[in-house]
Each structure stands twice: as C-alpha cells, then as structure tokens.
Amino acid sequence: MIIQKEMIAGLFKDLASVKESGKKVVYTFIPGNLSELIRSFDMLPVYPEINALQSGMRKKSGEFIREAERHGHSEDVCTYVKCDVGMMIKGNIGPTGEKLPDPDLLLLSYTGCFTFMKWFETLERLYPGVPVALIQSPYQEDATITPEMTEYMVKQLKEEVIPKMEEVSGQKFDEEKLKGILKLSAEAEDWIVKIFDSTKHRPSPIDAYFAGVYYIGPINIGFRGTQEAVDYYKELYKEVQERIAKGLGPITPEGVMKEEKFRLVVEGPPNWTSFREFWKLFYDRGAVIVASSYTKVGGVYDYGFRHDSEHPLETLAEYCMNCYTNLNLPQRINLLEKCITEYHADGYLTNSIKSCNSFAAGQLMMMRELEERLEIPVGFIETDLVDPRYFSYSNIKNRLESFFEMLEQRLLIEQD
C-alpha cells in the first residue's frame, strides 16, 4: 500500500510539473492502453476514467456530473464521461489538489466500448487543436485473432499513432527501447497472475474485487513496463504468500476477515461513490470475491497472454484485442466459467452498472447461461459507477441478503 501510494503520488507530481520538465501528456483509456508505447517516447499518461473513479471515491463526482448535465449531457450518458467532463469544466483539479495538465495528444484505443469514441469527440471540443490518434481494435466476433486483424492494427500503429507521437514528443520511434519496456511488462504480468491465483487457497488471502481494484492500479495506470511495477508486484506477492502461510483471510477496511463463508465470482465494475459501504455488505457476511471480470478490464492474462518483446508492435495489437470489453459474450462466459470452477466459487453475482453498456449488455444472458451450466446460485444487483443518485443502499442490502441466504441453504444441503 505504501509503495503504491508513493508511485501514484510521484506520477501526479510529474504531471503537475510538466511545464518545468518539458514532458508531453497523453490522454488515453485503460482498456487497450498503449502505456509501453507512451513511455517509449518519454511521455506521461492521463486516464480520464481513473480521474472519474477517484472523484467518486472522494465524494466529488456528484457535483461534476451535475455540471456536465447543465452543459447538455444526458442523464443516460456514461457517468465516467460526465464526471470527467464536469471535472475539466470546473478546473481539472486532480486527486493531489493540483491542476492536471492539458493534453498534448488524445490517444483513443477503441476496444469494444463505443462510448470511448463519443467521449473523445467531447475532449476534442474541450481541447481544440490538440491532435487525435485513433487505433481501432477489431472485435473478436469469432473468438479468434487472425493474422489479418493483427496486420490491420500494426498498420494503424505505424501510419497513425507512432507518427503523431513522434511529432508531439519531438523524438523518433526507438524499437529497441520499446522492447526493453515490454520485457518488464511481461514480468509484471507474470507476478499479477500469481497474485490473483492465490485465491484458490482456503481461506483466500485476498479479495479479488474490492482489494483487487487496488492491486491492478500500477499495471493499469501507466506503470506497466517499468521496474517500479515489477518491484511492487514482487513485494505484493511476498505479502500474499505470508498470509497463506499464516492461514489469514483478506484484509478489509475493518481488519482481517475472520471467517470465509462464501466464495464468489463477480461480473461488472464496482460502485465507487459508496465503495466502503458496498464492500462492507460483503465482508460482514464473510463473502470473499475470489475472481472478478473488472480486474481484467485492463488486460486478460488468464489464458497466457504476455507482451512479447521480440514482436513489439504485433504484441501491442494483440494486447488491445484481448481486452475484456473486446471479447464476445461466449468468450466472457467461458472465462467466468473457468474462474468459478478453478477458484472453487460457491456463487456468481452480477453488479449491473446503469450507465455502462459495454459491461451491462448481455449480463442477464451470461448469468442464466452460467447458472444452467454449473448449477450454482446466481444473484443480480444494480448500481452505477460514480453517480451517487443510483446507489440505493437498502435495495442492494436486501438483494444481497436474499442471495447470501440462498447460498447458505445451498451449502447446508451440500454438507448434509
């Protein structure tokens, strides 16, 4: 925790001092992010959805959303977008209290979420004259990545993205430098897979959803490809192994969970505006999330994908196409089935996000398919990302209580 806080604080400090350092700033997204390519040009990333979720956790997102709605954004628009736009309108002050720098490049890596396209059109209007680079990832309609799909993306990198990065940064593309960064990415990816695999133990030493969102922080917000990230994950893995050796469960905001009663797999992002209250509904009942789809939004490494430094542009292309939001629904179901089976889950829960179509589309069908295949209890709740108006504590609590009672009855029957 201390290491991660220092890393993130250092990044925002660097962002606050770009006028002095001369570094250029790239606004981009988490799914399909090209952080290694950005780092190879010595540029700094800013992730608008990270700004939004941090605003949600700091109880500031509500006012930013209302500000965006006053400027004409619909109530049905993704609340990440409205929070981000409202934050920019009101001065773009980051979590450290310092103003975030304006972008020098808008880098849109389109990976399955159409909202990203409209979001960047809005950013283009907010920052007129800033160059835009678009890389469009083919959707995995047939659950395969063909050589033609990879070639199409590499062509975009060579002809669209890299030339604009060279122009903005004032540096020529250095393939050898990128290869070195990608080697560190693969190493960090090895460590994070080992960390999330630790939930196969009983009791699970970590919570792979509520705590997992912290664990994916460094690999998703620009540190993938750095020695800092590798060192962080090594230290985290060491701590996890110590917890396994001592038979300890996950750490919660109120201390170590004393008893693991239920093991769950959760689909969908968490709610950020009431994050701790939301988490407490689970750990109060001894419910541990042993796997979640949201922690894979920045990269799916479960099937062995690692960045390949010997094929730098091809591996960046394949990474983008392998993002969770770029998988088709049967692929998502198979991945969730693998998690439920291999991590010995007792139940499956969908947290459907009101304003996030890229996750919400197909969730009910996915839930019913998993229920039929695996004959496990399933549950369904609805919240939102960062709009406090759509978090009904009593409603969610009632639904979860019913779900936990169903799980309890099922476990009693199995014990008999």
Convert the pLDDT of each residue in 301-339 to its tens digit: 988 999 999 999 999 999 999 989 889 999 999 999 999
Residue 292 is assigned to a structural domain of this protein: no
Helices (H), 142-261: 147-156, 162-169, 175-197, 212-215, 217-220, 227-246
Mean pLDDT of the chain: 94
Instruction: Tell me the mean pLDDT in the region 152-156.
Output: 97
Helices 363-374 and 329-342: angle between axes, nearest 10 degrees: 40
Instruction: Tell me the mean pLDDT in the region 386-408.
Output: 94
pLDDT digits (tens, 9 = 90+) for 88-142: 999 999 877 889 999 999 998 877 687 888 888 899 999 999 999 999 999 888 8
pLDDT digits (tens, 9 = 90+) for 184-236: 999 999 999 999 999 999 999 999 999 999 999 999 988 999 999 999 999 99
pLDDT digits (tens, 9 = 90+) for 29-61: 888 899 999 999 999 999 988 999 999 999 999
pLDDT exceeds 80 at position 66: yes
Closest CA relative to residue 356, chosen from 300, 297, 310, 408: 297
Residue 70 is assigned to a structural domain of this protein: yes
Residue 76 is assigned to a structural domain of this protein: yes
What's the CATH code of the domain at 39?
A: 3.40.50.11890
Residue 15 is assigned to a structural domain of this protein: yes
At residue 271, the pLDDT reads: 94
Which domain covers residue 66, as residue numbers?
Answer: 11-171
133 close to 165: Cβ distance less than 8 angstroms: yes
pLDDT exceeds 70 at position 416: no
Domain total of the chain? 1
200 close to 286: Cβ distance less than 8 angstroms: no
Residue 131 is assigned to a structural domain of this protein: yes
